Chains A and B, each alone.
Chain A
Amino acid sequence: EIVMTQSPATLSVSPGERATLSCRASQSVSSNLAWYQQKPGQAPRLLIYGASTRATGIPARFSGSGSGTEFTLTISSLQSEDFAVYYCQQYNNWPLTFGQGTKVEIK
């Protein structure tokens, strides 16, 4: 099983600032990496797939990068609606696995 490790666990950021979230895989997943956003009481929402492709309707302030074992989600200028928990997911191997999440909170 591929273990996904996200850091930091919590990120405190002021509105308008840049947020950088990391995700590391225990072995290469190529570019088969997705990012999701989850707000309290809601289902996760797909943000990024293929490590860097934004899903339909996702604002350009969200960007993803990386390949192999190291990945980054960047939110260029945090808006109030972006404060949430973010998960990465690898889909290079079965079983599909998620990271433990990074909570982005208001500083």
Chain B
Amino acid sequence: QVQLQESGPGLVKPSETLSLTCAVSGYSISSGYYWGWIRQPPGKGLEWIGSIYHSGSTYYNPSLKSRVTISVDTSKNQFSLKLSSVTAADTAVYYCARHGTALHRYYFDYWGQGTLVTVSS
């Protein structure tokens, strides 16, 4: 069974960098699939942030691209998110999830439980 687990600080100060890691178990990241980040502000909808393949190939949401870096560590079977220059608008539950590699398979079939990150001084 594929399992994803987010971890990282729950509180980040404005203007600093948000850093999260997603540990994957039950499946080797190197075997395929894209691994992505999605966020959900409190009481609001879902926003895709970006995705990475085990080779390091990435896709980012243009709305966040200038501030986002997603990286992968296949040796630890995990991938990470960095979001710089955060503001209160970046307060959200951050999810990691998996999606397929072909155009018709870019839906998210496995999700982490999510982690709330609050941006506040």
Contact = CB atoms under 8 A, between A and B. Distances in A.
B4 to A, nearest CB: 9
- Most central of A87, A94, A96 by chain B CB within 10 Å: A96
Given A43-B114, A49-B107, A95 B45 contact: no
A31 B42 CA distance: 30
Interface of B: 36, 45-48, 51, 59-63, 95, 97, 99, 103-109, 111-114
Interface residues of A, number: 25
B108 A44 contact: yes
A44 B111 contact: yes
B48 A32 contact: no
Contacts, number: 63
Interface majority SS on A: helix, strand, loop or mixed? loop
A96 B46 CA distance: 10
Nearest to B6: A43
A50 interface: yes
Interface in A64-107: 87, 89, 91-92, 94-101
